[in-house]
Amino acid sequence: MVLPRPRAPLDLQQRPTPQPGAGQVLLRVRACGVCRTDLHVVDGELPRPKIPLILGHEIVATVEEGGARFASGARVGVPWLGWTDGTCRFCRSEHENLCDAARFTGYDLDGGYADYTVADERYCFPLPDSYDDLRAAPLLCAGLIGYRTLRLAGDARRVGLYGFGAAAHLIAQVAVQQGRRVFAFTKPGDTEGQRFARELGVAWAGGSDEKPPEELDAALLFAPVGALIPAALRATAKGGTVVAGGIHMSDIPAFPYELLWGERTVRSVANLTRRDGEEFLALAATMQIRVEARRFPLEQANIALESLRKGEVRGAAVLVP
Ligand SMILES: [Zn+2]
Ligand SMILES: [Zn+2]
């Protein structure tokens, strides 16, 4: 399924199977998650996608050939971070997520909305056996970026999650199993989403316009809505952190300095490092994370994207070739 240009529907095309280059593996795609970032790319909200482009950076696949790291038939995951130069100051200081030369899967590189793809084997992850293909796919971005977002919140005990979609439903369970108190904020009036959050063990669920029953030590934002920054600051205690986990956000409205005062911090999460991926997948293997995934056939990628846009997907949407 090919994006011919921004703001156009994906187009079903027949292409020859890609050939792996040096250090690359040829992968047969088993499942590929649909991420909010894919919608930002389709909508032209991110500046420089490869065009035409095959989207998809939550790829679960089996290795067909190529590379030296994995045996043929091994099951691997391919995330958003597809390549870095390994030489810049960011790469040399464990911040490869900030590499200026980085290439991203389903953005700079063709991704997983396809039967086959190729990937640099150094950026692939082995996957825990306890998650089947459909349920492993959302771990690769929603789970992984969610994990980095939670990690940047430090040891916060009371954690608010704004936007209860693919990332929040996974990371809520991780935070609960770590013994934190979790507060879920959905779109105002989304009682179904709030019920879903409570089912997953959160202490409280309500609308993003509501005040939680306790102050938060950290707020993690997974909805691309700038107005949530002041709302989250308002709910956060002194010394607390607001972390924006998304790649794109509408403008943040002006707010009184008082909301930031008291050593509150606002920061963003950009991409991931391989270390995040290894840590999170190891953690996921030891935890029981319920992954809510809705299956769409690959050729219905446009329908899956629109369902995600309308907020009709509970948990994560996953394409299966
Ligand atoms: Zn993503
Ligand atoms: Zn670099």
Q: What is the mean pLDDT of residues 287-304?
A: 97
Cβ proximity of 13 and 2 under 8 Å? yes
Q: Cα(213) to centroid of ligand 1, in Å?
A: 31
Confidence of residue 311 (pLDDT cuts 50, 70, 90): confident
Mean pLDDT of the chain: 97
Q: Cα(183) to centroid of ligand 2, in Å?
A: 36
Q: How far apart are CA 16 and CA 133, in angstroms?
A: 24
Long-range Cβ contact pairs of 45-52 (< 8 A, separation 24 or more): 45/248, 46/107, 46/247, 46/248, 49/3, 49/6, 49/107, 49/108, 50/107, 50/108, 50/109, 50/110, 51/3, 51/4, 51/5, 51/6, 52/2, 52/3, 52/4, 52/5
pLDDT in tens, 117-151: 999 999 999 999 999 999 999 999 999 999 999 99
pLDDT above 90 as % of the chain: 98
pTM attached to this predicted model: 0.95
Q: Cα(109) to centroid of ligand 1, in Å?
A: 14
Q: What is the mean pLDDT of residues 299-313?
A: 95
Q: Cα(238) to centroid of ligand 1, in Å?
A: 31
pLDDT in tens, 150-207: 999 999 999 999 999 999 999 999 999 999 999 999 999 999 999 999 999 999 999 9
Q: Cα(143) to centroid of ligand 1, in Å?
A: 9
Q: How far apart are CA 206 and CA 287, in angstroms?
A: 26
Ligand nearest to the CA of 84: 2
Q: Cα(257) to centroid of ligand 1, in Å?
A: 32
